[in-house]
Amino acid sequence: MQIAIGQLSQESNTFNPLPTTRENFEQFGVVRGADVLSQMADTNELGGFIQSLRAWPEGPEIIGLARLMAWPSGMATSETLGWLRDELLEPLRRRLPIDAVLLSLHGAMVADGASDVEGEILRSVREAVGPRVPIVATLDLHANITALMAASADAQVLFHTAPHIDVFETGQRGARVLRRILVEGAKPQTAFRKLPMVVPAEAANTQDAASVSYGFRERLQALEQLPEVLAAGLAPVQPWLDIPELGTSVVVVADGRRDVAEIHCDELAAEVWHRRRDYLPELVPVEAAVRRAHERSEGLVVLSDSADATTSGAPGDSNWVLRELLKYSWPRLALVPMVAPDVVVAAERAKIDHELTASLGGVRDVRFSRPMDVTAKVERLFDARFILSGHLAKNLPIDMGRSAVLAVGDVRVLVTSRSGPHFAPQFFQAAGFDPYSASVLVAKSPCGFRAAYQNQAREIMVVRAPGCAPSDFWNYEYRRIPRPLWPWDEIEYP
């Protein structure tokens, strides 16, 4: 028994002007062939695949295709998409015939000329292996699932959590579904509903009992406990995609019973539509949020700069929150992350303990932010390398490149050469700080940061500020989305 596994993961943001290229994937670390099995056996979805398959009594041969992962950013170039397709498909074709394919995909990748990258990849895999070879794909909860994706795979298995703390477990669930199909003879029947709605990411917290998403997570998990259900997923899509098939999706896969899949899918879709307004978050204007943080003399205040969230594909160099923080003195440090490779180079030239006058922000994102000149002391130089576990990851190596800490009064600006998880405690620790002892910490994340700070922070506020990943996205110009679509339009469904 031969089972091929691989990963293609990048979340696109079509408002980010910075293209995703082959270099972005290579910087993250391309892993090929047998190295996939040796290097990824305890990391994210691939680790869930590998450990599960190795535990099968049948002892299948696991064929590593490639691990292709890049941090969220702008659309991929057409050349990059061609390279990615070849990296996955060529080793697959060389090993044909095989018995099954298990893929880890994100589900919200867009390339120049291709609004449904994962759909195209799954169709290519299906054409390569034929109609009878099982294909199971795992997807991020923020996937933009399309009819082509649903038709090309036998089953799609989604994250159930946001913050995404079940990535490894989703890999295990994907392998479990494949076993039921390949070994136990299950006949997958998929029900797929595309809802004409898009919701903000900030309120999609499945770990908060007061959140609308909490109840949906429990329902999905309960459905997957039913013997006739192979997989159940809800994908409240990543909103910053100006593409033709944008919308929230519900998917239920049943064993041999399309009627069962349809009933559960319709019931869940109707409930999601009914609760759509519950996803709308409370936003605090940036000036008021910083002022309120300053009024707290004790404990940590976390400010979510969600419109510039690097986890949402924004460029990561907005300075709107930084401008406000610099207006105040802080009892303890205020920590602000920013992507600024040119500033890192300038800091290295200036050397530690020397002053540096630099233009911070508004370079990568020239649409929503503008540069500001800051005179700061170069406090520290460091390599932003660490192992990320928690939201988004289990044992995932991160390398955000050469980085610097700039001191401006009580504010510390952590500038990195590359994008990455500009919310993670491990990132701040790599820079030499205890993030939990700060007065203020800026997290460039809409929701996932809560996994690390919910129980540690005195207060958390989601800031309203301009950026490429705003929560009030319906106020921005979209040209290609299907209309009518809520919340742009008030409509009835079904």
Tokens standing for residue 383: 């390599």
Say whether pLDDT at 494 is over 80.
Answer: no
Per-residue pLDDT at 450 = 96
State pLDDT tens for residues 277-313.
999 999 999 999 999 999 998 999 999 999 999 999 9
Q: 3-class DSSP state for residue 147?
A: helix
Provide the sign of the torsion angle of the four alpha carbons 124, 32, 64, 54, taken in this order.
Answer: negative
Spatial neighbors of 159 by CB under 8 A, at least 6 apart, are 138, 139, 140, 141, 166, 167, 170, 233
Q: Facing residues of 360 across strands?
A: 372
The 10s digit of each residue's pLDDT in 300-348 is: 999 999 999 999 999 999 999 999 999 999 999 999 999 999 999 999 9
Element (H, E) at 290: helix 286-295
For 66, the 3-state DSSP assignment is strand
Residue with the two structure tokens 């290519």: 124
Angstrom distance (rounded) from CA 285 to CA 477: 21
Percent of the chain scored above 90 by pLDDT? 98
Query: How would residue 126 be classed by pLDDT, with cut points 50, 70 and 90?
Result: very high
How many other CB atoms sit within 10 Å of the CB of residue 22? 19
**Mean pLDDT, residues 252-264:** 97
Encode pLDDT of 180-220 as tens digits.
Answer: 999 999 999 999 999 999 999 998 899 999 999 999 999 99
**pTM for this model (two decimals):** 0.96
Cα 205 to Cα 451: distance, rounded to the nearest angstrom? 9
The single-letter code of the amino acid at 86 is D
Which tens digits make up the pLDDT trace of 212-227? Answer: 999 999 999 999 999 9
